[in-house]
A = this chain, B = another copy of it.
Amino acid sequence: MKSSPNNHILIPPEPVDFDPTTTPTGTYKAGKKRDDNLARILDAAEEIFVARGFKGASIQSIADAAGLPKANIHYYYKNKTTLYQSVLSKLINLWNTQFNEIKAEDDPATALDGFIREKVRISFTHPNTSKLFAMEVISGAPNLQVYMRTDLRRWVKDRAHVIQSWIEQDKMPATDPVQLIFLIWSSTQHYADFETQVLSIMNKSRYDARTQKKAADFLSDTILRGCGLRPLSAKT
């Protein structure tokens, strides 16, 4: 595993001055204490950033949530922007799902079902990650512009190409592959991003496994049927 895989994507003109995964002298030092603190800080920061936004998240509050003194945060991260971008970088890795691996030879229904279920699972297990990404995009994605115009666009283009090949092989009826990807993204992420709303309407205080399964089953069935495929749950 690389130490800082996506930093180059975020802000090309102004590179991150202080990479927290390297020590001040530049030598990588995987101390347990260090890794532990970094993980605590990143987790705390993600939560606070989601709840209060970038400006509203004070370093003091992040430090409190991480159980560290404020000045310690500044030992690992040069400033708040660096910390924020580190959280974003970590987040982008979650985007690399199994749907990356789809091939023209695959069965569309199986591949789409797997994609939908994986996205639902991530939404239920890492809601804050999805929320932070959503907030960043909603605000105009000032820290993700380059990523979206390069890596993400290429990802969608390649996936759309495979879907198009399924259509040309008559494995599924014609549909717009890009819109289909948007549909899957939006409907699955909704359970993470709008967690508060979904829970309010369902009159629950938190998600349970049953809710997740129902959501996954519904979305897989409905979307597969929606693009003219036989849902996997259908009896033969």
B227 adjacent to A153 (CB under 8 Å):
no
Q: Is A209 an interface residue (CB 8 A)?
A: no
Give the residues in chain B near A131, CB-CB below 8 Å: 138
Q: Is A71 an interface residue (CB 8 A)?
A: no
A219 adjacent to B183 (CB under 8 Å):
yes
Give the residues in chain B near A140, CB-CB below 8 Å: 51, 196
Interface hits, A203-234 → B, CB 8 Å: 203, 214-215, 218-219, 221-228
Q: Is A187 an interface residue (CB 8 A)?
A: yes
Q: Is A28 an interface residue (CB 8 A)?
A: no
Q: Is A75 an interface residue (CB 8 A)?
A: no
With A179-B215, A214-B176, A226-B226 given, is the CB distance from A194 to B137 under 8 Å? yes
How far is A53 from B52 in the complex, measured between Cα atoms in Å?
Answer: 8
How far is A10 from B162 in the complex, measured between Cα atoms in Å?
Answer: 47
Cβ-neighbour of A225 out of B139, B149, B197, B226 (below 8 A): B226
Q: Is A11 an interface residue (CB 8 A)?
A: no
